[in-house]
């Protein structure tokens, strides 16, 4: 690809449009996944007790689920279309691999949840209680399976496995579907993301229930919903912390630059502490080339080494180490950025030589030798497009602070759920008004925490569309920046309107309350 023809303004607008769509889409998805489990639990209680109270309680939360589900579908479809419209070079290069999980998601998981969601909403008087309960759980399962395949696709962008570049077709082709579907990054990403969605759903249930307590309405409904939400949320948060620990280890093994950016670690080494907070300017990339660590750093001794290597004295590379090259604990040497760039340029040159030799009718032995050289340097192919050291360093302030918002929010929600359970069993929770307000305020906080997790995941792998394989500016379509800019603002108006409509409908349904 001729880099001279790339409109960098177009790259910025394409990235902005994709980020806009993804951020709005992720406003709807976590609540869908979280409420799916909550309404499944409540309908299970109804199935076991036959109580009309639990039936109406389930139907209330299902109505909120349905409103949110519809909005999530609309934004998700647009998100997938953008791969073809704005990122056609990316889609051409890796469509054989990346398209497979998205196709399975659309054909299997989405149709599964769409089928059973109809039974769940309209089948109360048409099917047996057992079949309806199964439909409710299968709706949630379908949504979760959809998340699995989408996260498999995203995880492959973070850690491309199970594929090989074919110089004849100029495409990456899948060599092992299981390696793609079951990679450690995919499993960790799925578990951590779904658990975070469960926590958000639990916070939402607790917050809405506390609104009824503040208003002195439907006290039995509010108290029992609060109990289900708090217990479910506490269990989900405990599991989320365990999955976060394992995710940190996986990132340390597969994306050390992301980990270094999350920690503000400029110069690494053994015995690294986990930073609690430090004075990193949120509006400026720090001088990681000369600083050894940020100012006013407060850290837990040895904790980062343990998280990243499972050894309290393990070696954790910083930004500068990754740029300069370093030796891992197992003795293997990670090349410097300059060597990676050189090998990437060799891969690009070898590919051009191969294509030219094939056009000129070179013999099979010559083509085979050239293909072998391409494959040898292909792991560094994307570095051939890098011109400056700063291009491969993510924007550290976003990664650093978003990570701390995510972790801090998780700790806050543990406190929220523990207090909710304490007040439910030890005091008259209807009288603890300060807690009701705190729970309500935690609803928007939960969305901020959830979005922060995605900011860490996506900002942390920049500048790569596919880690080490394809920089963002190489994956874009040949479009004018004005066209993408226009659709950006159209989507901004559309998505903001959809969000406002959803909030309005949700509030009306909450004010209306359950039909008890």
In the predicted model, what is the mean pLDDT of the chain?
90
* Residue after which a domain boundary falls, among 286, 314, 331: 331
Q: Which residues of 362-382 are buried (b: 16+ CB within 10 A; e: fewer)?
A: beeeebeebbebbeebbbbbb
* Structural domain boundaries enclosing 378: 337-385
* Residue after which a domain boundary falls, among 369, 385, 401: 385
**Taking each helix axis from N to C terminus, what angle separates 219-254 and 8-49, rounded to the nearest 10 degrees?**
130
* Residue after which a domain boundary falls, among 385, 420, 455: 385
Kindly state whether residues 380 and 359 are assigned to the same domain.
yes
The pLDDT value recorded for residue 2 is: 53
Residue 67 included in any domain: no
Residue 310 included in any domain: yes
- Per-residue pLDDT of 106-141, as tens digits, reads 777 777 777 888 888 888 888 999 999 999 999 999
Which uninterrupted H or E stretch holds 372?
Answer: helix 364-377
On the CB side of 364, CA atoms within 13 Å amount to 0
Strand 326-327 relative to strand 295-300, pairing = unpaired
The pLDDT value recorded for residue 437 is: 95
Helix, strand or coil, per DSSP, at residue 271: coil
Residue 356 included in any domain: yes
Domain count, the chain: 2
Residue 377 included in any domain: yes
φ and ψ at 275, to 5 degrees?
-70, 125
Residue 493 included in any domain: no
Kindly state whether residues 277 and 325 are assigned to the same domain.
yes
Residue 56 included in any domain: no
Q: How many residues does the chain have?
A: 516
Residue closest to 183 by CA, chosen among 265, 101, 284 = 101
**What does DSSP assign to residue 285?**
-
pLDDT per residue as tens, the chain (516 positions): 555 566 778 888 999 999 998 898 889 999 999 999 999 999 999 999 999 999 999 999 999 998 888 888 778 788 888 888 888 888 888 888 888 888 888 777 777 777 888 888 888 888 999 999 999 999 999 889 888 999 999 999 999 999 988 888 888 889 999 999 999 999 999 999 999 999 999 999 999 999 999 998 888 999 999 999 999 999 999 999 999 989 999 999 999 999 999 999 999 889 999 999 899 999 999 999 888 888 888 899 999 999 999 999 999 999 999 999 988 877 788 899 999 999 999 989 988 888 888 888 888 888 888 888 888 888 899 999 999 899 999 999 999 999 999 999 999 999 999 999 999 988 788 888 899 999 999 999 999 999 999 999 999 998 999 998 899 988 888 888 888 899 999 999 999 999 999 899 999 999 998 886
The pLDDT value recorded for residue 6 is: 66
Residue 290 included in any domain: yes
Contact 316, 308 (CB under 8 A): yes
Long-range contacts of the stretch 482-488 (C-beta < 8 A, 24+): 484/10, 484/13, 484/14, 484/17, 484/86, 485/13, 487/17, 488/13, 488/16, 488/17, 488/20
Kindly state whether residues 289 and 312 are assigned to the same domain.
yes
Peptide bond connecting 95 to the previous residue in cis, omega within 30 degrees of 0: no
Token duo for residue 217: 């309405």
Measured between alpha carbons, how far is 25 from 116 in angstroms, rounded to an integer? 22
- Per-residue pLDDT of 199-239, as tens digits, reads 999 999 999 999 999 998 888 999 999 999 999 999 999 99
Residue 327 included in any domain: yes
The pLDDT value recorded for residue 78 is: 82
Kindly state whether residues 278 and 316 are assigned to the same domain.
yes
Contact 513, 60 (CB under 8 A): yes
């Amino acid at each position: 690809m001729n880099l001279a023809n790339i409109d960098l303004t177009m790259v910025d607008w394409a990235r902005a449009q994709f980020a806009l769509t993804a951020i709005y889409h992720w406003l709807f998805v976590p609540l869908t996944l979280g409420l799916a489990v909550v309404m499944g639990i409540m309908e299970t209680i109804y199935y076991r007790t036959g109580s009309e109270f639990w039936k109406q309680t389930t139907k209330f939360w299902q109505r909120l689920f349905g409103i949110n589900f519809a909005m999530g579908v609309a934004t998700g479809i647009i998100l997938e279309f953008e791969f073809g419209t704005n990122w056609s070079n990316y889609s051409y290069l890796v469509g054989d691999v990346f398209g497979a999980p998205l196709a399975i998601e659309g054909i299997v998981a989405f149709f599964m949840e769409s089928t059973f969601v109809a039974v769940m909403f309209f089948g109360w008087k048409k099917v047996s209680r057992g079949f309806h309960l199964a439909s409710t759980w299968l709706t949630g399962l379908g949504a979760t399976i959809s998340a699995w395949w989408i996260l498999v696709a995203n995880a492959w962008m973070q850690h491309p496995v199970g594929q090989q570049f074919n110089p004849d077709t100029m495409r990456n082709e899948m060599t092992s579907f299981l390696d793609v579907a079951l990679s450690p990054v995919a499993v960790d990403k799925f578990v951590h993301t779904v658990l975070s969605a469960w926590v958000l759903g639990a916070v939402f249930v607790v917050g809405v229930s506390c609104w009824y307590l503040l208003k002195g309405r439907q006290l039995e409904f509010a108290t029992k919903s609060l109990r289900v939400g708090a217990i479910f949320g506490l269990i989900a948060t405990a599991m989320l912390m365990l999955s976060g620990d394992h995710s940190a280890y996986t990132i340390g093994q597969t994306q050390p630059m992301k980990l270094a950016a999350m920690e503000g670690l400029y110069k690494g080494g053994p015995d690294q502490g986990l930073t609690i907070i430090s004075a990193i300017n949120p509006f400026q990339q720090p001088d990681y080339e000369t600083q050894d660590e940020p100012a006013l750093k407060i850290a837990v001794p040895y904790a980062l080494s343990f998280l990243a290597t499972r050894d309290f004295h393990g070696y954790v590379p910083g930004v500068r180490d990754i740029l300069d090259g370093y030796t891992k604990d197992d003795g293997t040497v990670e090349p410097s950025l300059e060597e990676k760039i050189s090998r990437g340029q060799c891969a690009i040159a070898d590919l051009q030589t191969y294509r030219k030799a094939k056009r000129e009718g070179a013999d099979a032995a010559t083509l085979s030798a050239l293909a072998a050289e391409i494959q040898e340097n292909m792991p560094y192919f994307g570095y051939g497009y890098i011109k400056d050291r700063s291009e491969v360093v993510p924007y550290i302030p976003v990664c650093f602070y978003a990570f701390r918002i995510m972790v801090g929010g998780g700790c806050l929600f543990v406190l929220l759920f523990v207090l909710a359970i304490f007040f439910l069993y030890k005091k008259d929770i209807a009288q603890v008004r300060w807690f009701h307000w705190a729970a309500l305020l935690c609803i928007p906080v939960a969305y901020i925490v959830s979005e922060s997790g995605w900011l860490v995941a996506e900002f942390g792998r920049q500048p790569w569309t596919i880690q080490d394989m394809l920089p963002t500016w190489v994956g874009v379509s040949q479009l004018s920046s004005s066209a993408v800019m226009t659709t950006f603002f159209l989507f901004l108006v559309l998505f903001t309107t959809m969000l406002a409509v959803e909030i309005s409908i949700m509030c009306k349904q909450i004010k209306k309350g359950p039909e008890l």
